[in-house]
Structure 1
């Protein structure tokens, strides 16, 4: 990882990035395999200390694989100047002298910002710390380390070993996407994990459920993607679902009011994203080719995702609240495993799959890790292959083979994992039967 951090131009080092992160991912897979049989005695302090060192390698490097952070700083700088970031698109604004450099670096300046209100508050905080890329990345890395701590606390609450936190804390994906590129997604997942932890620890009380709802509102208004996990959290709220919904509505309202009435303009940007954006979406490109219609393909994938959410949550809802005899699996663990399954379905059906979108899945790996999830968190980085011709020639040219590999790699890994797991169970039963026969 240090070699990548020292790279003068990371966009030209994509083959090295893919290879080095593959080795790191193989280490995580081995850690999971070995840890399930002989638990590691790694302390929370060690886990977070190593996570910090990994992130420090990239903190002071420029954001090379994505330019989203310049929009973050532009929005945050405008808030500090008293300008609503939803009032107008950057292209329609003559920037002040101190923001001219940022203005020139913004992608898609013709659109009003697509980032929700909670994200805007984070951008303003980062801008207040100095308004530099490094300052904002340092702020987001601090939140990411807090997320690592929250994961450890939740693992302990769910009766799972704390060493599993390394599946996120030492994962190359958050290191590259948060410390390297400064993406805000980790902050949203920190609020999601906080909401889940509040429901597990204090969900039976009115205050705990309401605070969990407010935290989830924050998560969804940092990045909208966690909304797909809302039905699962609603199940976890159990008898305090009205209080959870109350906290959710109050939190969303409190975060949104400062940006009204211009906040309504985000709908135009979100609509353009939903209708037109596409990247590395194998299911989408396949359906579009089969139907000849991008719109029909998008609607079909939305239907598939909604069906997956309904199927997964209904299965959890029907499960008993107490562990089955001989099984340590509680309803709380079933819910977070459902979140993992829903996130996997979301990533495999979305028409646009940027590498940092998989941070949602990486956050849930400590609770429901399997071959498919670990492989997908690495495979999304194959899409950075597009950066090579874009940097050299200015041409954004996707590879159909890469798009297919990003989809098929986790699907294949998951299928092989099920086959091998089934064989082990059959062999174990056969061994027991042989022993009883003797």
Structure 2
């Protein structure tokens, strides 16, 4: 199977323009996901023995294929380079929107390609530090190289977490060899992998601090460090915020104050250097929350039914909040019954997976790389809905063809519907068949 995945990825890497090869991209990534599905099926019967070293090596080769190529499916990387370069020049990235800034000669090319230059950067402080570190390595390729290193670290941390959960380490291939992180991080250079690596590191430390025996006291240290890492993860992108109650409940009761102090310390240490200009980010976040939409079937349906985009957004927020409360309440009961740290950890990771899936299905804006958060949790809580969704997001790249050729952004209602309904159908079929992966 590794040879098949390498050949498939190599074919895509050799395409001169992926925006004109979307049908091939969809077909080849489907074949790669089917191969991973077969691995999941076969592994459940004891037929797989890939070592962590092999998993990381193949993951590295897959990513190296796309490292040197410029981003084609997204232009976010140019904003990253602009923000990071500003920090290196002593300029606060939240000070002014790119459209109101005259770029130096070395950044004119990147400045011209920034999307929505009229807005101040929307990326939080930890992401800004990553951008600055990447900018020191030299241009787009240097920044992508750093993001790939974070992604490979995430692959290794997933192996560690699987062992803590007493799950087979080979399950890490469900993320490490998945075409989604390969294309979205190594190819397009999205920063999500950095945040996910910090999130998984926080989970690893939280489980490490748990007592191994019921009579053993929880260990000092890991809870506060986990809080620091979790705060840092939330300040790469805000998506881990709904997972806060999960990590809080997973932390031993006597160490929850330490976890909270770690979160507060990390939040203060990372945000204070950017004040007071950091307050400008709220303008961009407000514009995103009120106006952005893409591939959101639930949002489109509610907007059509109510005649109001605002009502649709508020309704979806309420639906997600209800899902969050139900899932957190269910987790609280499961943690009371759990008899070991591994059992507690598996329950918590399943809750994280389900919360993330609910968030993706209710968001008005579902860019393909948003599903990276689900893909990173998939090895610890594999389910058919998540596997289908992590591939189906590639369907939305059909907008790239008319946009690249005609300059027109034309979404397909059929694709948007498929992106929402296909995961639900996969989950329903698994439930009807009584499969063990019917968790979602």
TM range (shorter): over 0.9
Q: 1:364 to 1:382 in 2, by over 3 A?
A: same
Answer whether contact 1:79 1:124 (CA < 8 A) is retained.
yes
Pairing 1:145–2:152 present? yes
Answer whether contact 2:383 2:437 (CA < 8 A) is retained.
no
Aligned match of 1:7 = 15
> Runs of 4+ in structure 1 displaced over 6 angstroms?
none
1:356-403 Cα offsets, whole Å, 9 max, x none, are 000000000101111110000000010000000000000011110010
Match of 1:214 among 212, 228, 246: 228
Q: What SS is found at the alignment partner of 1:235?
A: helix
- Number of residue equivalences: 422
Answer whether contact 1:194 1:212 (CA < 8 A) is retained.
yes
Q: 1:423 to 1:173 in 2, by over 3 A?
A: closer
Please give the alpha-carbon distance, in whole angstroms, between the structure 2 residues aligned to 1:422 and 1:275. Answer: 40
Q: 1:424 to 1:157 in 2, by over 3 A?
A: closer
Give the deviation of 1:329 after TM superposition.
Answer: 7.0
Answer whether contact 2:81 2:135 (CA < 8 A) is retained.
yes
Please give the alpha-carbon distance, in whole angstroms, between the structure 2 residues aligned to 1:70 and 1:316. Answer: 40
Match of 2:29 among 21, 34, 37: 21
Aligned match of 1:346 = 359
Give the deviation of 1:323 after TM superposition.
Answer: 4.1
Aligned match of 1:68 = 76
Segment drifting more, 157-166 vs 202-211:
202-211
Please give the alpha-carbon distance, in whole angstroms, between the structure 2 residues aligned to 1:313 and 1:39. Answer: 35
Segment drifting more, 304-313 vs 355-364:
304-313
Pairing 1:159–2:156 present? no
Pairing 1:378–2:391 present? yes
Give the deviation of 1:243 after TM superposition.
Answer: 1.0
Q: 1:181 to 1:163 in 2, by over 3 A?
A: same
Match of 1:184 among 180, 191, 209: 191
Aligned match of 1:434 = none
Give the deviation of 1:99 after TM superposition.
Answer: 1.0
Pairing 1:118–2:126 present? yes
What TM-score results when the alignment is normalised by the length of structure 2?
A: 0.94
Answer whether contact 2:164 2:342 (CA < 8 A) is retained.
no
Unaligned runs of 5+ in 2: 1-8, 211-217
1:167-193 Cα offsets, whole Å, 9 max, x none, are 000000000000000000011000000
Aligned match of 1:225 = 239
Answer whether contact 2:430 2:437 (CA < 8 A) is retained.
no
Answer whether contact 2:84 2:133 (CA < 8 A) is retained.
yes
What TM-score results when the alignment is normalised by the length of structure 1?
A: 0.94
Pairing 1:392–2:405 present? yes
Match of 1:250 among 246, 265, 287: 265
Give the deviation of 1:417 after TM superposition.
Answer: 1.0
Answer whether contact 1:39 1:161 (CA < 8 A) is retained.
no
Unaligned runs of 5+ in 1: 426-438
Answer whether contact 1:211 1:247 (CA < 8 A) is retained.
yes
Aligned match of 2:286 = 271
Give the deviation of 1:424 after TM superposition.
Answer: 12
Q: What SS is found at the alignment partner of 2:167?
A: coil
Answer whether contact 2:207 2:341 (CA < 8 A) is retained.
no
Aligned match of 2:176 = 169
1:295-325 Cα offsets, whole Å, 9 max, x none, are 011011111111111101111101254547x
Aligned match of 1:332 = 345
1:203-257 Cα offsets, whole Å, 9 max, x none, are 4334211110100001000000111111111111131111111100100110001
Please give the alpha-carbon distance, in whole angstroms, between the structure 1 residues aligned to 2:222 and 2:371. Answer: 29
* RMSD of equivalent CA atoms: 1.6
1:35-76 Cα offsets, whole Å, 9 max, x none, are 111241110000000000110111111100000000000000
Pairing 1:40–2:40 present? no
Give the deviation of 1:423 after TM superposition.
Answer: 10
Answer whether contact 1:25 1:172 (CA < 8 A) is retained.
yes
Segment drifting more, 132-141 vs 266-275:
132-141
